[in-house]
């Protein structure tokens, strides 16, 4: 067993990536953000009479529970409200994984999934989503890595960091493999709605052993509302609500009220994000097509890309961008792939355009300094 395939078990008490994101990622040309630019309070058209400070929302605020259930096409007893997809993932993992349980997580993945699982005492095994196949989710990789001890398989869809889309057929195959091993499948769908043209459906519909998480944060630019949720079979959802009692009483009620308003306007907010991302994808794809020093593939869904720097050092590139060009990217080392970087295209088009010019200049500069 190599160090790559050996399960990780050490307890972790922090996330290096989240600390970096909170302290280092901001920049005038921010290509490290993980969502579309913020939707404003003004555009939500809120009046004070829409808000209240406290309300009866112990196991979710019923109108918000209803709005989430209607959006996802599920019954209300399958919906567990959570503070963003972050807490949704944590709560789902905490309800599904006991210390010592083996879980199987895609590689690369969103770092917080690994940190949270290790914090909970899970034994984390990995299966590959190889760069060579454009990070496609491949059920045979899960089949190869799953064992009778596996309790949970975890994937992101769209994939963070690569943006790759997994269809229902592939997820269904993974569900079958997991079910045969007595395991469940957790799908983090925080980016899924950004595959606008596919009109995607949550994987929760694929069967009782699927659990999904999402939020209004990334695709709708509503990160500040912290409106997240888990979809789980009702008995499991009830278990998650009861576990959530350990973490607090309820969500801030004003945010719940604002989230209800956001759901009323969701088609309009989605159309706005879609128009922004279509413009930005065209810009980013033109840029990526001209760069012979990067290996990448066109961005067709979502808002991120995970190019590989063909020669040179990504950390040096990121440092140069930060120090000289006021531009930030996420170093691939946070995704266990240090030759890559994550480029986010969800910002305002003008900012993205400036950031890409700067990225081009920095890439030219490091090429010039190479012997
Ligand atoms: C795959 C994935 N899941 C969850 C999150 C956290 O989402 P939220 O802001 O809704 O808590 C992120 C944030 O970048 C993410 O990329």
Ligand 1 pocket test target in 17, 19, 110 with most atoms within 8 Å of CB: 110
Query: What does the pLDDT read at residue 135?
Result: 98
Q: Is residue 43 part of a domain?
A: no
> What tokens were used for 129?
């989503």
Task: Note whether residue 55 is domain-resident.
Answer: yes
Report if residue 6 sits inside a domain: no
Domain boundary among 240, 264, 288: 264
Same domain for 239 and 325? Answer: no
Whether 209 and 309 share a structural domain? no
- Does residue 103 sit in the same domain as residue 250? yes
Provide the residue-wise pLDDT of the chain in tens; the chain has 371 residues: 555 567 887 878 899 999 999 999 999 999 999 899 999 999 999 999 999 999 989 899 999 999 999 999 999 999 999 999 999 999 999 999 999 999 999 999 999 999 999 999 999 999 999 999 999 999 999 999 999 999 999 999 999 999 999 999 999 999 999 999 999 999 999 999 999 999 999 999 999 999 999 999 999 999 999 999 999 999 999 999 999 999 999 999 999 999 999 999 999 999 999 999 999 999 999 999 999 999 999 999 999 999 999 999 999 999 999 999 999 999 999 999 999 999 999 999 999 999 999 999 999 999 876 54
Do 87 and 222 lie in a common domain?
Answer: yes
Residue at 258 is within a domain = yes
Indicate the residue among 221, 246, 264 that finishes a domain. Answer: 264
Alpha carbon 297 to its chain's center: 19
Our answer on whether the CB atom of 162 is closer than 6 Å to any ligand 1 atom is: no
* C-beta pairs of 42-47 under 8 Å, 24+ apart in sequence: 44/258, 44/261, 44/262, 44/265, 45/261, 45/265, 46/258, 46/261
Q: What is the CATH number of the domain that holds 183?
A: 3.40.640.10
What per-residue string of b and e applies to 256-286 under the rule 16 or more CB within 10 Å gives b? bbbbbbbbeebeebeebbbebbeebbeebbe
Same domain, 22 and 126: no
Has residue 158 been placed in a domain? yes
Q: Is the CB of 217 under 6 A from ligand 1?
A: yes
CATH number, domain containing residue 286: 3.90.1150.10
Q: Let me know whether 156 and 283 are in one domain.
A: no
| Pocket residue to mutate for ligand 1, from 116, 218, 224, 302, most atoms within 8 A of Cβ | 218
Locate the ligand 1 atom nearest the alpha carbon of residue 88 and give its number. Answer: 11
Q: Are residues 229 and 86 in the same domain?
A: yes
Burial of 173 (0-12, 13-18, 19+ CB in 10 A): middle
**Residue 200, ligand 1, Cβ within 6 A:** no
Say yes or no: 324 and 352 in one domain: yes
Q: Cβ distance 56 to 45 under 8 Å?
A: no
Tell whether 216 and 277 lie within a shared domain: no
Between the CA of 342 and the centroid of ligand 1 the distance, in Å, is: 14
Q: What is the pLDDT of residue 34?
A: 86
* 41 lies in some domain: no
Domain total in the chain: 2
Same domain, 90 and 192: yes
The pLDDT assigned to 3 comes to 52
Domain ends where: 264, 289, 318? 264
User: Looking at the structure, do residues 254 and 355 belong to the same domain, yes or no?
Assistant: no
Q: Do 187 and 332 share a domain, yes or no?
A: no
Domain that holds residue 174: 50-264
């Amino acid at each position: 067993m190599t160090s790559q395939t050996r399960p990780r078990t050490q307890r972790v008490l922090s996330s290096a990536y989240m600390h970096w994101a909170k302290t280092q990622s901001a920049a005038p040309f921010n290509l490290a953000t993980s969502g579309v630019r913020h939707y404003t309070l003004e555009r939500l058209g809120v009046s004070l009479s829409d808000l209240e400070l406290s309300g009866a929302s112990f196991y979710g605020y019923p109108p918000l529970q209803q709005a989430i259930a209607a959006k996802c096409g599920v019954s209300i007893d399958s919906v567990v409200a959570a503070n963003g997809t972050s807490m949704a993932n944590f709560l789902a993992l905490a309800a599904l994984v006991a210390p010592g349980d083996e879980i199987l997580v895609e590689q690369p993945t969103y770092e917080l999934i690994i940190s949270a699982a290790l914090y909970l005492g899970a034994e984390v095994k990995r299966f590959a989503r190889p760069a060579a196949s454009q990070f496609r989710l491949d059920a045979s990789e899960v089949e190869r890595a799953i064992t009778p001890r596996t309790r949970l398989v975890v994937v992101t869809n769209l994939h963070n960091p690569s943006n790759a889309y997994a269809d229902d057929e592939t997820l269904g195959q993974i569900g079958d493999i997991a079910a045969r091993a007595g395991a469940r499948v957790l799908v983090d769908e925080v980016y899924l709605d950004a595959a606008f043209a596919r009109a995607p459906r949550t994987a929760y519909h694929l069967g009782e052993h699927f659990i999904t998480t999402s939020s209004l944060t990334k695709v709708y630019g509503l990160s500040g509302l912290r409106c997240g949720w888990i979809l789980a079979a009702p008995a499991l959802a009830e278990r998650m609500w009861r576990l959530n009692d350990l973490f607090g009483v309820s969500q801030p009620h004003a945010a719940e009220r604002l989230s209800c308003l956001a759901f009323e306007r969701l088609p309009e907010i989605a159309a706005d994000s879609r128009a922004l991302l279509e413009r930005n994808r065209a810009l980013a794809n033109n840029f990526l097509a001209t760069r012979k020093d990067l290996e990448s593939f066109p961005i067709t869904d979502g808002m991120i890309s995970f190019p590989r720097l063909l020669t040179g050092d990504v950390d040096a590139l990121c440092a140069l961008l930060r120090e000289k060009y006021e531009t930030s990217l996420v170093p691939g080392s946070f995704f266990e792939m240090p030759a890559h970087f994550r480029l986010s295209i969800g910002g305002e088009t003008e900012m993205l355009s400036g950031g890409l010019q700067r990225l081009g200049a920095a890439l030219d500069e490091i090429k010039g300094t190479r012997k």
